[in-house]
A and B are shown apart, each in its own frame.
Chain A
């Protein structure tokens, strides 16, 4: 009997192991209740700091209240766009709603991995009422509206410490190569973003010339925008080779390659200049204020990237439920909560969001000394028939990081996705940039081998008694 129990236990242990393995990735449908599977970026949704309740929990409650139906949201997070993409390729149909970045959305649309919104469009009234006209127009222009709704957006630029870096210096991408700031700049360990910087460095003169033409008025807004999107998404052999050269120099001049650490290094003063996403910039500036440090943000004059993350439904998604969730988070109240918590800029505009902005510390009174107007009508549309204008006395801080002015927007362009072949070429280039100086390491290894060889020879000689006093045979030494 005892033996039998032992055997049974062994068998059970094995079975649990096996079933635990196979259970991963399977969809729970216990009791026929509704299940919505969401995959979002890490730290990318509101969490109530006291109750630990997320916006997802609030959605479950609201949905049950509204429809009387039980719903469970299986919320998971992903590390990088590429990991999310791999997941969807390996396990098609494992999510109802995911939130990748702009270039990944384009790739997914192109590979026919996404459901269209058409028949559930009317289930997301909040989004279509409150989303910023700037973003909906951008989506229309690029034919993304059928597949995606915008979530957060922003620009790329530099967070800089005005104690060491002037605004003038931080207003050009060239600062990444400036030897004055050797070991005090950073690069992103994200090939797509750093490639953008590399292109800017490779085409610096041309980009500057075009920007001047545009400010003089010899180039129309549309012509300039067309030029920018082509220039920044150029992947010709020649450009890639030049980008490699520039990035190698920039890496040599930099303190670190990072994704998250830059914010902290900036606040602590380890670096003076951080190539950053605007959302992280706001976070760093807020954080630094608590330590009585002033940090600023600038978008270089040669033009930059306007990025966004959006919600898409992979093939086989439960569209009805996904739409209900999107409608819930597109509610301006909830969008504000998200913005307050994450620090990034929501795609939702409208009166509530505008009021929140006007009450924030980032803006000042119209009557203040040095108050300068920033026209955000392009983003918010008209508020109560009036242009959406806010006042600030700091043009290079949180306000313009969160809501770039029209001048900044005019010189920002989107990232396009690369096809697999181009991707391989760019990745190979990036790997070469990250590689070290081979001869230096050959030298170091050679040095160590020589030292080790000398040590071994010394020990062998010592063993043979070359160094020690020889003891005469046949005698014992008495001390």
Chain B
């Protein structure tokens, strides 16, 4: 028998990888999410998500942290990306590099260094919530700047010139032309900041000194307390939120892919 080898066979390792490390874990999580500690079917875990004070508190805390972080990142990131992309400075790529370089250092180290810095300027023992948000903004700013920068640098200059030719002033050009055209970058930046900040509990542990509990931390707590069912249920809930978020921001569409902004 002749062994027929086609390019399809090269997919086998990936298929195995996907089954073992993506599909199987999700199935295991589903099993735990829908059972109680005795292994019998129950929906109580999901009921508890919406009735249990610690879970509601963690969801709200996560939302508050993520929304505020995303908002601040956009507020800081957009002008930076705009300046970098538009001014045509010779040094703009160097400047961009300066924004990316911190990402080459492990973020746990950076956040720990940030903690020392905070202690130095006597901010560390102030609000755990705002310390966490500041840490998150510091950590995720490059994820906002890069997609924005990529979209803005790719933008056709002629469109802007056309707008000016037609009598629009700078403000109108920005609102009518540049902003709508950079929407994919904004959405991609928001996705990349909003989703990880919901669960990145290293920042809230170190800068928030474990005083605030966000969803990622809550899941860890439940697993540490040997309550895998509740931990799995919250993970599934989080997965559902992420799915909806990605769906509504058009993350599943293929066209004009600026997601990752050339980072990945």
Do these two chains interact?
A: yes
Q: Measuring CB to CB, which residues of chain A are less than 8 angstroms from any residue of chain B?
A: 3-4, 6-7, 10, 13-14, 17-18, 21, 80, 82-83, 85-86, 183-184, 189, 191, 251, 254-258, 261, 268, 270, 423-424, 427-428, 431-432, 434-438, 441-442, 444-445, 448-449, 451-452, 459, 462-463, 465, 467-469, 471, 475-477
> Does A463 lie within 8 Å of B210, measured CB to CB?
no
Say yes or no for B58: interface residue by CB 8 A criterion: yes
> Does B226 lie within 8 Å of A86, measured CB to CB?
yes
Q: Which of A427, A435, A467, A468 has the most CB of B within 10 A?
A: A435
Interface of B is mostly: helix
Residues of the A chain whose Cβ atoms lie less than 8 Å from the Cβ of B210:
189, 256-258
Query: In chain B, residues 123-171, which have Cβ atoms closer than 8 Å to a Cβ of chain A?
Result: 124-125, 129, 165-169, 171
Return the contact of A471 from the options B54, B167, B179 (Cβ within 8 A): B167
A17-B20, A268-B119, A432-B54 known; A448-B67 Cβ under 8 A:
yes
Report the bound CA distance from A384 to B169 in whole Å.
97
Residues of the B chain whose Cβ atoms lie less than 8 Å from the Cβ of A21:
20
A10-B9, A435-B54 known; A462-B119 Cβ under 8 A:
no
A-B residue pairs in contact (CB < 8 Å), sample of 14: A3-B3, A6-B5, A7-B5, A10-B9, A10-B12, A17-B13, A80-B224, A428-B54, A432-B53, A459-B175, A468-B169, A468-B172, A471-B167, A477-B167
> Does B64 lie within 8 Å of A427, measured CB to CB?
no
A257-B209, A432-B53 known; A438-B9 Cβ under 8 A:
no
Residues of the B chain whose Cβ atoms lie less than 8 Å from the Cβ of A475:
167
Residues of the B chain whose Cβ atoms lie less than 8 Å from the Cβ of A268:
119
> Does B5 lie within 8 Å of A3, measured CB to CB?
yes
Residues of the A chain whose Cβ atoms lie less than 8 Å from the Cβ of B61:
436, 441
- Interchain pairs with CB closer than 8 A, number: 124
Q: Mark B57-91, 1 if CB is under 8 A from A, else 0.
A: 11011011001100100000000000000000000
Q: Report A426 CB to chain B, min CB distance, Å.
A: 9
Say yes or no for B225: interface residue by CB 8 A criterion: yes
Report the bound CA distance from A268 to B112 in whole Å.
14
Report the bound CA distance from A47 to B247 in whole Å.
53
> Does B13 lie within 8 Å of A14, measured CB to CB?
yes
Residues of the B chain whose Cβ atoms lie less than 8 Å from the Cβ of A3:
3, 5
Say yes or no for B56: interface residue by CB 8 A criterion: yes
> Does B213 lie within 8 Å of A476, measured CB to CB?
no
Query: In chain B, residues 14-64, which have Cβ atoms closer than 8 Å to a Cβ of chain A?
Result: 16-17, 20, 53-54, 56-58, 60-61, 63-64
A3-B3, A257-B210 known; A451-B71 Cβ under 8 A:
yes
Say yes or no for B94: interface residue by CB 8 A criterion: no
Minimal Cβ-Cβ distance residue in B for A478: B167
Q: Report B111 CB to chain A, min CB distance, Å.
A: 13
Interface of A is mostly: helix
Report the bound CA distance from A465 to B212 in whole Å.
44
> Does A452 lie within 8 Å of B71, measured CB to CB?
yes
Residues of the B chain whose Cβ atoms lie less than 8 Å from the Cβ of A471:
166-168
Residues of the B chain whose Cβ atoms lie less than 8 Å from the Cβ of A251:
211
Report the bound CA distance from A442 to B57 in whole Å.
9
Residues of the A chain whose Cβ atoms lie less than 8 Å from the Cβ of B213:
434-436
> Does A445 lie within 8 Å of B63, measured CB to CB?
yes
Residues of the A chain whose Cβ atoms lie less than 8 Å from the Cβ of B124:
270
> Does A438 lie within 8 Å of B57, measured CB to CB?
yes
Report the bound CA distance from A416 to B20 in whole Å.
41
Say yes or no for B121: interface residue by CB 8 A criterion: no
Report the bound CA distance from A465 to B9 in whole Å.
58
> Does A476 lie within 8 Å of B166, measured CB to CB?
yes
> Does B68 lie within 8 Å of A434, measured CB to CB?
no
Say yes or no for B246: interface residue by CB 8 A criterion: no
Residues of the A chain whose Cβ atoms lie less than 8 Å from the Cβ of B171:
462, 467-468
Minimal Cβ-Cβ distance residue in A for B63: A445
Report the bound CA distance from A13 to B20 in whole Å.
14
Report the bound CA distance from A183 to B13 in whole Å.
53
A82-B224, A448-B71 known; A459-B179 Cβ under 8 A:
yes
Residues of the B chain whose Cβ atoms lie less than 8 Å from the Cβ of A445:
60, 63-64, 67
Residues of the A chain whose Cβ atoms lie less than 8 Å from the Cβ of B9:
6-7, 10
New A-B pairs, 10, CB < 8 Å, besides A183-B125, A257-B209, A476-B165:
A10-B9, A13-B13, A14-B13, A17-B13, A21-B20, A257-B211, A436-B213, A445-B64, A463-B176, A465-B172
Say yes or no for B200: interface residue by CB 8 A criterion: no
Residues of the B chain whose Cβ atoms lie less than 8 Å from the Cβ of A449:
67
